[in-house]
Amino acid sequence: MHSRHLNAPACDPKPHTGLPHNKLLVLFDGYCPFCQASIRILKSFDWFGWLECRSFREPENIPPLTPPLCPDAMEAEMHAVSHCGKTVRKGFAAFRMIAWRLPLLAPTTPLLYLPGMGWIGQKAYLWVARNRFNLIPCKDGVCALPATKTGSAEKSG
């Protein structure tokens, strides 16, 4: 007989993300220098190895969830997925989910839930996400994205 905490989210016995139960999958834009730097900082605070950070640009990194994760939504915002795939958060809500797992941030994380912080945080997050290719200069002010499946190169900047 299995016992589980009454407040724990119900998960299938077999995780959908393929991660251990204590891990959180963080899907970010691996083509974005700002995003890469942000993930490096988050990982430096991840003393217990609770974050599994992967670029959504690599199809094999996207877990087969039902409903599936939307590529356009992942392009617009970082996603955090619980080990079992039952909880998916994006943008500022994903950051709050991540912050609970980082010992340096956890003591101040309740402040992210004060009235109005969700709205303010999401607005700030979306501004940063929209401008992410301008926040860290790329070569000649242009970030080159790898060739798409059709073979053409995309530019963002």
Residue 29 counted as domain residue: yes
Check residue 146 and give its pLDDT.
54
Check residue 95 and give its pLDDT.
96
Residue 1 counted as domain residue: no
Q: Tens digits of per-residue pLDDT, 48-89?
A: 999 999 999 999 999 988 889 999 999 999 999 998 888 999
What is the residue-averaged pLDDT of the chain?
Answer: 82
Q: Tens digits of per-residue pLDDT, 101-127?
A: 999 999 999 999 999 999 999 999 999
Residue 19 counted as domain residue: no
CB atoms under 10 Å from CB of 136, counted, come to 14
Query: Alpha-carbon distance 109 to 92, whole Å?
Result: 12
User: How many domains, in total, are found in the chain?
Assistant: 1
Residue 100 counted as domain residue: yes
Is it the case that residue 43 has pLDDT exceeding 70? Answer: yes
Residue 82 counted as domain residue: yes
141: containing domain: 24-156
Residue 140 counted as domain residue: yes
pTM equals 0.76
Burial class (CB in 10 A: 0-12, 13-18, 19+), 121: middle
Lookup: tokens for 128: 């940063």
